[in-house]
Amino acid sequence: MDFKTAIDTCLRRKYLDFSGRASRSEYWYYILAYLIGSIVVSLVGGILGARAGSVLSGIYSLALFLPSLAVLVRRLHDTNHSGWWAAGGCVLAAAAFIILVGALLMGAGASSALMMILGVLSIVYGLWMLFLLVSKGTVGPNRYGADPLETPADV
């Protein structure tokens, strides 16, 4: 899949499609486009000023949140893993927030050790996700659908 087709697939044809599979090229081309877009939005936001830049950045992030999550889930499906693996980052962030609030309310104490453990878990989780996202997908059909390398992109 080329760059243009990947962007068209993620932002038009499969904007909210959490089923099926996404090839490595579809996922990484989308991530590249997202990062380029983020840089452009940041530059424009810097020109417009802090308040307008924050609003523009928020709109950009909200508009691309669901398609980003959808292509992530489809990419995990291609490696024959559940899309629920994507929720791990949210769980770790929520745990960090709870520990941080607890530390602020009750004093630092044991929370620093918990935060270090959570930090290590976050690194391990991040490396695991990176491994899954760069891994070759399952050859042939799997429980999530047909191999995206064997089927046309518009299916």
What single-letter amino acid sits at 150? E
Q: In whole angstroms, how far apart are CA 27 and each of 5, 41, 50?
A: 11, 21, 31
Residue 144 lies in a domain: no
**Local confidence band at 152 (pLDDT 50, 70, 90 cut-offs):** low
Positive or negative, the CA dihedral 35, 132, 139, 67 is: negative
The rounded distance, in Å, linking the Cα atoms of 76 and 134 is: 10
pLDDT digits (tens, 9 = 90+) for 64-121: 999 999 999 999 999 999 999 999 888 988 888 888 787 777 766 656 777 888 888 9
- Its domain, for residue 9, covers 3-134
The total number of structural domains that make up the chain: 1
pLDDT digits (tens, 9 = 90+) for 24-63: 999 999 999 999 999 999 999 989 888 888 999 999 999 9
Tokens found for residue 76 = 């995990």
Whether the CB-CB separation of 147 and 138 falls below 8 Å is answered with yes
Residue 87 lies in a domain: yes
Q: Looking at residue 6, what is its pLDDT?
A: 94
* Closest CA relative to residue 28, chosen from 7, 50, 56: 7
Q: DSSP letters along 33-69, please?
A: HHHHHHHHHHHHHHHH-HHHHHHHHHHHHHHHHHHHH
Residue 61 lies in a domain: yes
Q: What is the mean pLDDT of residues 2-31?
A: 95
pLDDT at 126 over 50: yes
Residue 86 lies in a domain: yes
**Rounded CA Rg of the chain:** 19
Residue 139 lies in a domain: no
The rounded distance, in Å, linking the Cα atoms of 86 and 72 is: 7
Residue 124 lies in a domain: yes
Q: Looking at residue 95, what is its pLDDT?
A: 87
Q: Looking at residue 155, what is its pLDDT?
A: 45
pTM, 2 dp: 0.85
The rounded distance, in Å, linking the Cα atoms of 28 and 32 is: 6
Q: Looking at residue 108, what is its pLDDT?
A: 62
Residue 116 lies in a domain: yes
Residue 153 lies in a domain: no
